[in-house]
């Protein structure tokens, strides 16, 4: 069964350092999402891509976060500089189209900022 | 008040019990309702999806939506230890397009053998 791949699975960094997370969606999935899930909370959308274009990044803290999906396939989410409050699970999801009930989530990257 | 409220639990039940998980919401424009299951250290996986009011059954799982009360429920019959996970409700204004899912906090369920 096809899955969304994410790496690394765990990342520990110090505040003010730069971190990057990678996501490889299910093959053929045009829509890709990055979510942040703080411990004890539900996921919150950071950015949504349709192919290589950003369609929603209204909740992305653009002063420190950036996301790209250059060839419309895999994607990278970067934080620079990391802050203590960025400690969370970063989830990537993909779907064939932008239909809400067809999102498949990856296992996530657990970020700890010290 | 958050758009979607969900009791975080934790909820602990014996094996075989009927489990009821609930969410309330404030935005009456939500039309699509989903339940996700999230095991520890994993991403959420979609369990059930319903549109508007009514019931939907899938095996041991039943999803119920009451739009007049802005209340949704997930029932698990004959609960098993493998059902131990966090259950997240999520909702959307439309089925497709540039409208994000709004998630509840999740309810942590433990089914004790």
Mean pLDDT, 10 residues at a time, chain A of 114 residues: 92 97 95 94 94 93 95 95 96 88 92 97
Residue B54 has pLDDT above 90, yes or no: no
For residues B90 and B100, is the Cβ–Cβ distance under 8 A? no
Q: For position A79, what pLDDT does the model report?
A: 97
Cis peptide, bond prior to residue B99, ω within 30 of zero: no
Confidence (pLDDT) at A3: 92
Q: Which of B19-28, B32-41, B81-90, B97-106 has the lowest mean pLDDT?
A: B97-106
Chain B environment of A98 (Cβ under 8 Å): 96-98
> Which pLDDT belongs to residue B1?
62
**Which pLDDT belongs to residue A97?**
82
Smallest Cα–Cα separation from A68: which of A26, A32, A102? A32
Judge whether B89 and B7 are in contact, CB under 8 Å: no
CB B53 within 8 A of CB B45: no
Count of A–B CB contacts within 8 Å? 63
Q: In chain A, which residues have their Cβ closer than 8 Å to the Cβ of B45? A: 104-105
Q: Are A15 and A87 in contact (CB under 8 A)?
A: no
Interchain contact, A42 vs B34, CB within 8 Å: no
Count of Cβ atoms closer than 10 Å to residue B32 Cβ: 21
| Average predicted confidence (pLDDT) for chain B | 92
Tell me the per-residue pLDDT of B3-39, one tens digit each, with 9 for 90 and over: 999 988 899 999 999 999 999 999 999 999 999 999 9
The count of C-alpha atoms lying within 13 angstroms of the C-alpha of A43, restricted to the half-sphere facing its C-beta, is: 34
Minimal CA separation from A35 to chain B, in Å = 10
- What pLDDT does A1 receive? 72
Count CB-CB contacts under 10 A for residue B62: 17
């Amino acid at each position: 069964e096809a899955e969304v791949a994410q790496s690394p699975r765990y990342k520990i960094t110090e505040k003010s350092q730069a971190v990057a997370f990678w996501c490889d969606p299910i093959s053929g999935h045009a829509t890709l999402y990055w979510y942040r899930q703080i411990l004890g909370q539900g996921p919150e959308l950071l950015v949504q891509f349709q192919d290589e274009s950003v369609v929603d990044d209204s909740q992305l803290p653009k002063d420190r976060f950036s996301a790209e999906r250059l060839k419309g396939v895999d994607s990278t989410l970067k934080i620079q500089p990391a802050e203590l409050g960025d400690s969370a699970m970063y989830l990537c999801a993909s779907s064939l189209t932008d239909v809400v009930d067809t999102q498949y989530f990856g296992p996530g990257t657990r970020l700890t900022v010290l | 008040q958050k758009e979607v409220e969900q009791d975080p639990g934790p909820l602990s039940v014996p094996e075989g019990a009927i489990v009821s998980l609930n969410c309330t919401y404030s935005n009456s424009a939500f039309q699509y309702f989903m339940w996700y299951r999230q095991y520890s250290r994993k991403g959420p996986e979609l369990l059930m999806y319903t549109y508007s009011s009514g019931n939907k059954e899938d095996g041991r799982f039943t999803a119920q939506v009451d739009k007049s009360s802005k209340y949704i429920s997930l029932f698990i019959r004959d609960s098993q230890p493998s059902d131990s996970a966090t259950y997240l409700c999520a909702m959307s204004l439309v089925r497709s397009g540039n409208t994000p899912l709004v998630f509840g906090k999740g309810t942590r369920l433990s089914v004790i053998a």
